[in-house]
Structure 1
Amino acid sequence: MKELLKTKVTVRLRKSEFRKEWFIYLESYPVMIPGKDKVQRIREYLNRSVTTVDFDKKRPARTTQESVSYKPKRDDNGIIVCKSENDRETMFYADSMRKLRQREYDNIELYSELDKIQVEQKEKSQENFVGYFDRLVNKRHKNNSESIQVNWYRSIEFLKDFGGEKIMFSQINTKFCEHFKSYLLTAKSGSNKQEIISQNTASTYFSVFKAALKQAFIDGYFTTDISAKIKAIPHEESRREYLTLNELNTLVETPCELEVLKRAALFSALTGLRHSDIQKLTWNEISIENDQAKIILLKKRQKV
């Protein structure tokens, strides 16, 4: 797309061939005219002339073998200086016409810029949001943990199940987002698609979806921040199961064919460690301080 031109309008003079008189005209440049490949220089004569122009002898305009012409002096506002009162009024009139034409060109450029933005926005609105979503994972989370990437990819998969492989940006509005939210709250997962995902899982996937919408707004794919208009899926309090002291004592007295399994179960109940953490546990991760055993989880650098 071509860059817009900044047209400048200037008051100029043209010397009469027969008298000591200068005709006044407006020069606009550069100007793009439909049907023309190159920029144009537009001259508009104002049907006015002056005879007492004050020329700057230090600024030659054109030199020929016969004569030398000079540029006219201009005041601080850029108005050509003349000696007579009538000519000064004429130049004030010329400058008012210049301002009028300049505003007209500025408004044309303003609307052209708005048109340009609208065209770019329309082009972006026809792009595939699913593809953008997928690229965003690689761009934004390529160095993040696997669990974060998995949440993003699963969110994309549920979005595909809901709306298909191609969802144009122009299709996405608050209504679409609310329908997707409702879909997640009843979506099924697993190989057989039998179990409905938990509300907390749906909340995570919808938060990822909102994050993608927010980034798309920042990148100019939306004119409004849709993510700010839709509410998140509330997180439910997780219910933690634990054994009472009496239940633990009962477990201690209960026979088990695999003694190592029994010890691991008791160790897990007393420390809160997962089975996978216990399997990887080494003596280097256990320290005794003040008659208390402490376990350092190397992954999170936390003591238990």
Structure 2
Amino acid sequence: MEIKLIKRKSKTTNRVSLSLEYYMGYTKTEEGKIKHNRKYETLEYYLIDPARTKADKDHNKVNLEMAEAVKAKRLLASQNKQYGFTVEYKIRTNLVEYIKGLIDQRKNSPGNYGNWDSSLKHLIAYAGHDTTFEGVDKAFVEGFKKYLAKDAKTKSNTNLSANSQSSYFLKLKAALNQAIEDGIIPHNPAQMVKPAKTEDTHREYLTLEELQRLVKEECKFPVLKQAFLFSCLTGMKWSDIQKLTWSEVQELDGHTRIVFRQKKTKGFEYLDISDQATRYLGERGEPNERVFVALKYSAWHNQALEKWCMKAGILKDITFHCGRHTFAVMQLNLGTEIYTVSKLLGHKELKTTQIYARILDEKKREAVNKIPDIE
């Protein structure tokens, strides 16, 4: 089979559409006439003709490269089929069932699991249960983005926030990226669609005084108290604490260092922790044994965390992830420079950490406004 990239100039606009022509040989009719077998695939990319500006030329270069990449993948698929390797893209795979499989892999990461699960529910509301990858194109993706912005509702029947819209859209995009790796689709139709623009959100945290009150109160699940306070003193995420083993807890020159691979980013982290945080690790176990053995995610544990905070007189909406926020704000408040805090949190970009610095700016504004009127 031959595959050619075809360009067709529009008669009414300056666009040049791009498509692939599949030539599959020919057959002869009973009358002896030759009938060529061709089929066409219209691509989502296009060129601008004439390309008068640098932006037009850059656009053409990128789109032509993308179209050539699709052609190369189609050729590879054709060759694999010819030589008996992994054959055609499994585009008839059910999209919902595929994403359910991805969600099952995230059960030990409560926040991430919840976001994926919510995203799937909205996707089902938008497209139903029977959508296959065959029907997922750029128009489908843009339709999902529009549905999230206009029609999707929260449990309390309000519109989704911009951050929720962006989060749910990016889950679909991530699923499509994984589908490429799994050989289901050749390219991601969400690649050229931008998610909703996010907004800064309030990050709840505990003050030092509130944290001290928590320490004095009992929690229904002692391991939950132990792990949460450890998060407040180290900034480690739930997912990394939950899977932490004793082999990742190392002693170095009289200090304790956690050497672990982040569950979210897959990157290795080297985190030196304080003696105070080390005490919350408890008694050392076997190398392959989890440090926080009985720690798990459930509605009971979430309620226990909430009741524990209420016993300490804390009425804030505290989740386990607030331990990480607490660590960040305390460090900045105590004068640790932001670059160091960023490294301690394992952030890839400094702008992620700057969100916590803005929290302190708000507190400073509140402080100066507390001065009573002097006139």
TM > 0.5: no
Give the number of the structure whose residues are more often strand, by fraction: 1
Structure whose CA Rg is larger: 1
Q: Please, what TM-score do these two structures have when normalized by structure 2?
A: 0.35
Question: TM-score, normalised on structure 1?
Answer: 0.42
Instruction: Indicate the structure whose relative CO is greater, using CA pairs within 8 Å and at least 6 residues apart.
Output: 2
